[in-house]
């Protein structure tokens, strides 16, 4: 299954790079001036959904666009799609965005894929393949650093509001980084150049990344140390085990 998925993601990436080269995409607003979607987001989700349906007609799809955002995660095989993660970066920078895809079976994360489209850089893996890969290479788990020893990714809105003690958590770390793309934060965690990521996220934002963090024995949760709900947007906290212990201390 992973071979097929990687092929679809590479094809989808080529479609996005072509749209950028030809400057053909159309931008729309969703909930606000800065919450954007393009025709490319929608067509890439359709492209991936078609491939999935041809591959496994009994699978269901949970995706950000095209009214597919309410599918439950816990029954049968579910493919979770974020066709462009970091749409604002895609529109404003034409780089620093990802394609993300994850596979769940009976609610258990099996495979995650995060593709940095413009760098042509793929991180993928999980329970089903027993490891995490950076392109063709098996990745080693990142060191289990304390909060005080690493950089921490955060969503700008929760940091600006000091939501959930994020000011103090950030100040105890080596520094806060705001990338505007959840996928890039997860890539930084998997590479060991960031100890974690705290943000308000939807299931398609954290599915692939949390599956690969789990494979590495790292810690993640929703607010108040509760499991993630895989429904609406909620607080996501993903950290090394040691940094999670530090954050729990701060919150207590």
Please state the closest distance from residue 127 (CB atom) to ligand 2AM, in A.
24
Binding partner of residue 201 among Ca ion, ligand 2AM, none, CB under 5 to 8 Å per kind? Answer: ligand 2AM
Nearer to ligand 2AM, 85 or 246 (CB): 85
Which listed option, ligand 2AM, Ca ion, none, makes contact with residue 165 (CB within 5 to 8 Å by class)? none
Q: CB under 8 Å to 166, separation ≥6 — which residues?
A: 154, 158, 159, 198
- Taking the least distance from each CB to ligand 2AM, the nearer of 82 and 214 is 82
Q: What is the CA radius of gyration of the chain?
A: 17
Cβ 87 vs Cβ 103: under 8 Å: no
Instruction: State yes or no: residue 205 binds Ca ion (CB under 5 A).
Output: yes
**What is the total residue count of the chain?**
252
**Closer residue to ligand 2AM (CB): 141 or 180:** 180
Question: Nearest Cα to 219, choosing from 144, 140, 130?
Answer: 144
What is the rounded CA–CA span in Å between residue 45 and residue 168? 38
From candidates 82, 116, 214, 246, binder to Ca ion by CB under 5 A: 82
Which of 5, 85, 125, 228 is in the footprint of Ca ion by CB under 5 A? 85
Consult the annotation and say whether 64 binds a ligand.
yes
The verdict on 64 binding Ca ion (CB under 5 A) reads yes
**Range 195-222 burial, b when 16+ CB lie within 10 A, else e:** bbbbbbbbbbbbbbbbbbbbbbebbbbb
Report the binding-site residues.
64, 82, 84-85, 205
């Amino acid at each position: 299954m992973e071979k097929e998925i990687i092929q679809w993601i590479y094809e989808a990436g080529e479609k996005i790079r072509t749209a950028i080269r030809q400057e053909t995409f159309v931008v729309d607003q969703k909930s606000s001036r800065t919450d954007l979607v393009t025709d490319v987001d929608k067509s890439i989700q359709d492209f991936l959904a078609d491939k999935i349906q041809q591959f496994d007609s009994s699978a269901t799809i949970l995706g950000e666009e095209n009214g597919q955002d309410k599918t439950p995660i816990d029954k049968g095989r579910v493919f979770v799609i974020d066709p462009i993660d970091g749409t604002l970066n895609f529109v404003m920078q034409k780089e620093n965005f990802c394609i993300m895809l994850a596979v769940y079976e009976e609610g258990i994360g099996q495979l995650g894929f995060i593709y940095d489209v413009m760098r042509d850089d793929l991180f993928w893996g999980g329970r089903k393949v027993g490891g995490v890969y950076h392109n063709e290479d098996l990745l080693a788990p990142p060191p289990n650093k304390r909060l005080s020893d690493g950089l921490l990714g955060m969503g700008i809105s929760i940091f600006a509001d000091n939501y959930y003690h994020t000011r103090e958590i950030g100040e105890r770390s080596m520094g806060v980084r705001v990338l505007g793309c959840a996928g890039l934060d997860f890539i930084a965690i998997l590479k060991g150049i960031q100890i974690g990521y705290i943000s308000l996220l939807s299931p398609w934002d954290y599915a692939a990344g949390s599956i690969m963090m789990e494979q590495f024995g790292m810690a993640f949760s929703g607010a108040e140390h509760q499991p993630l709900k895989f429904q609406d947007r909620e607080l996501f906290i993903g950290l090394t085990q040691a940094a999670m212990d530090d954050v729990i201390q701060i919150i207590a």
